[in-house]
Amino acid sequence: MMRSLSISVDKCTGCRQCEMACSYEHEGVFNPARSRIKVFAFESEGRFVPYTCTQCDDAWCRNACPTGAIGINTATGAKEVDDGLCVGCKVCTIACPFGTINYNPATGKVIKCDLCGGDPACARACPTQAITYVDADATGYERMRAWAGRTDNATAAQV
């Protein structure tokens, strides 16, 4: 059974504990700028939205990588960057339609969510359970894709 992160934006308080846990887990420092998960703040609405890699089945980042540096962890399904193969060209950052791959100038490599090997630090740290690690079938990813498909068709019909 594959698992994935599920984000409930209505539960997010904007505490950014997920960013701190992620940066500490991967970089050994509490620095949100070095986190693989980000929290968007919609100040005027009082809403906060955590976002990170959705681990797409047909990952555009992986397909675009000229060196084959993005592989699939067979245990978690996460698309992971192999630092030994990554040349820091940033093509994957351009290919990702969600903007969830970032360049780390300190290493000259890209960074993205790797699901922490199957025990995501962001989910463990979230005090409101706005981020949980659940059965992938329960995340609604397929419903999201279906809705996007309908929206694209409606938009195309209007053009």
Same fold, 1-52+113-159 and 56-112: yes
Give the CATH number of domain 1-52+113-159; options: 3.40.50.970, 3.40.50.1100, 3.30.70.20, 3.90.1200.10.
3.30.70.20
pLDDT at position 155? 44
**Least reliable range by pLDDT among 51-65, 82-96, 141-155:** 141-155
pLDDT of 157:
47
Please give the CATH architecture assigned to the domain spanning 56-112.
Answer: 2-Layer Sandwich (3.30)
d(Cα 91, Cα 77) in Å, to the nearest integer? 21
pLDDT of residue 76: 93
Whether the CB-CB separation of 50 and 122 falls below 8 Å is answered with yes
